[in-house]
Amino acid sequence: MSIVFLSPTAQRGGSEAALLELLAGLRESHPSWSLDVVVASDGPLVGGVKALGVPVHVLPFPQSLARLGDWSVGRGVGARVGFMLRCAGLAWPAARYLHRLRAVLRDRRPNVIHTNGFKMHVLGALARPRGSAVLWHLHDYTARRVMMARLLRLIAHRCSTAVANSRSVADDMRSVCGPQFDVHPVWNAVDLNRFTPEGPQVDLDTLAGLERSEGVIRVGLVATFARWKGHRTFLDALALLAPWLRVRGYVIGGPVYETAGSQVTLEELRSVAASLGLGDRVGFTGLVADSAAAMRALDVVVHASTDPEPFGLVIAEAMACAKAVVTSGAGGARELTEPGVNALVHTPGDPRSLAQAIDMLVRDAHLRARLGSAARTSAEQRFTRRRLINEFTPIYERLATP
């Protein structure tokens, strides 16, 4: 079995973490399989892949292609025309990149080309050499991306099958490509030896430039700076908490992608926090390389996405760390937890609903402990690497069968 994985970025994000976990599982379970990774930029993913002993080839996108995105393209005619004009200007650089990618794939002649992001779904399908099957690994909703949905629908016949990281994302893709489109829901996995209740903790106060405060309940939003990750909702919720509660919030993460217009900035978030009068009740740590150590330093982990979450890897990782989790109750994230059993759930985009959940956890240490213990048990049942590989293996083997 020969598989080439295509990733549009090497930065830290949920899709890249999921890819590393899949590669690690395949290395353990199928050591004879040939695995290669082609990534369109340099970054942390490259080192992670190399550490697994998997060959990696950096084939950088042209800057114009790297920054192109349809996240903010509306449904109006003007917005679509503007986006199409930008795409037209990319025709030559995209064609050159496609030529280079096609050469790499021809050289490797894989049984399966596993693509890990929208741009690579398109490029992988177009660059596919004869005899190779294409598997789209869907980590995001497609229907809301108006232009990308149209493009994927046009080239869906070049995709042999797809895997979605939740039932919600699978249903979304069928709404785009039709009910006959072959897509399999497969949850992501978590490294349960790394994301554990015991282990080192980072000093969040030092990272955030705050004075050390003992005896406070630490509540953190762990997320990239994507605009839909709910940073404003989190800050608004903190501002709604009673000021006498000994609680401190942390925004853990930063910008990781190059796509224009898709992310908030640290300056924006600091300005919002100042306008809400949060002062030293909130800190901004930036990206933390050891996210498990960051989660262990928290008492409560918040997931606040305002749009439906395709999966919510942070939720699974926090559960594995036995943390009390508050999740946004929409999309794939809704599939991962049982409200009141292993997590609390709030209404997406509603600061008051989120504040009520945080307030409940801040006041009740027993509830935090009970939810955290149940969360770890659930993670050990649902997010194992073995389960992931057991679900992926027959899909790969079917695609590789002549």
Query: Looking at residue 146, what is its pLDDT?
Result: 81
At residue 248, φ and ψ (nearest 5 deg) are -130, 135
Query: Looking at residue 214, what is its pLDDT?
Result: 83
**Encoded tokens for 176:** 């785009």
Mean pLDDT value of segment 98-120 = 94
Nearest C-alpha neighbor of 251 from the set 277, 287, 278: 287
The separation between CA 381 and the C-alpha centre of its own chain, rounded to angstroms, equals 21
Query: Looking at residue 258, what is its pLDDT?
Result: 56
Query: Looking at residue 78, what is its pLDDT?
Result: 44
Task: Please answer whether residues 132 and 109 qualify as being in contact, where contact means their C-beta atoms are separated by less than 8 angstroms.
Answer: yes
**Encoded tokens for 357:** 């959940």
Give per-residue pLDDT as tens, 313-368: 999 999 999 999 999 989 999 999 999 999 999 999 999 999 999 999 999 999 99
Sign of the Cα torsion 67, 134, 16, 304 reads: positive
Query: Looking at residue 81, what is its pLDDT?
Result: 42
pLDDT band at residue 70 under the 50/70/90 scheme: low
Give per-residue pLDDT as tens, 230-279: 999 999 999 999 989 999 999 999 886 655 567 889 999 999 999 999 99
Please, is 60 exposed, middle or buried when counting C-beta atoms within 10 Å of its C-beta (0-12, 13-18, 19+)?
middle
Query: Looking at residue 286, what is its pLDDT?
Result: 93
Distance in angstroms (rounded) separating the CA atoms of residues 135 and 125: 9
Does residue 88 register a pLDDT over 70? Answer: no
Give per-residue pLDDT as tens, 269-287: 999 999 999 999 999 999 9
Does residue 90 register a pLDDT over 90? Answer: no
Task: Please answer whether residues 221 and 249 qualify as being in contact, where contact means their C-beta atoms are separated by less than 8 angstroms.
Answer: yes
Nearest C-alpha neighbor of 168 from the set 334, 347, 343: 334
Query: Looking at residue 77, what is its pLDDT?
Result: 44
Task: For residue 346, list its beta bridge partners.
Answer: 328
Query: Domains in the chain and their CATH numbers?
Result: 2-189+384-400 (3.40.50.2000), 204-382 (3.40.50.2000)
In which residue are the tokens 């059993």 written?
A: 341
In which residue are the tokens 């990750």 written?
A: 229
Residue 86: CB atoms within 10 A of its CB come to 16
pLDDT band at residue 144 under the 50/70/90 scheme: confident
Query: Looking at residue 89, what is its pLDDT?
Result: 53
Give per-residue pLDDT as tens, 6-52: 999 888 788 999 999 999 999 999 999 999 999 998 989 999 999 99
Long-range contacts made by residues 210-213, C-beta under 8 angstroms, separation at least 24? Answer: 210/248, 210/280, 210/283, 211/280, 213/248, 213/280
Query: Looking at residue 257, what is its pLDDT?
Result: 61
Q: Give the strands of the sheet with 324-328, arranged side by side.
A: 282-286, 247-252, 217-222, 300-302, 324-328, 344-346
Task: Please answer whether residues 149 and 176 qualify as being in contact, where contact means their C-beta atoms are separated by less than 8 angstroms.
Answer: yes
Does residue 73 register a pLDDT over 60? Answer: no
Helix (H, G, I), strand (E, B) or coil at 157: helix
- What is the pLDDT of the chain when averaged over all its residues? 91
Does residue 72 register a pLDDT over 70? Answer: no
Query: Looking at residue 96, what is its pLDDT?
Result: 87
Alpha helix (H) residue ranges in 128-244: 146-155, 167-177, 204-208, 231-240
Distance in angstroms (rounded) separating the CA atoms of residues 267 and 265: 5
CA distances from 299 to 167, 340, 353 (A): 30, 17, 19
Distance in angstroms (rounded) separating the CA atoms of residues 54 and 34: 9
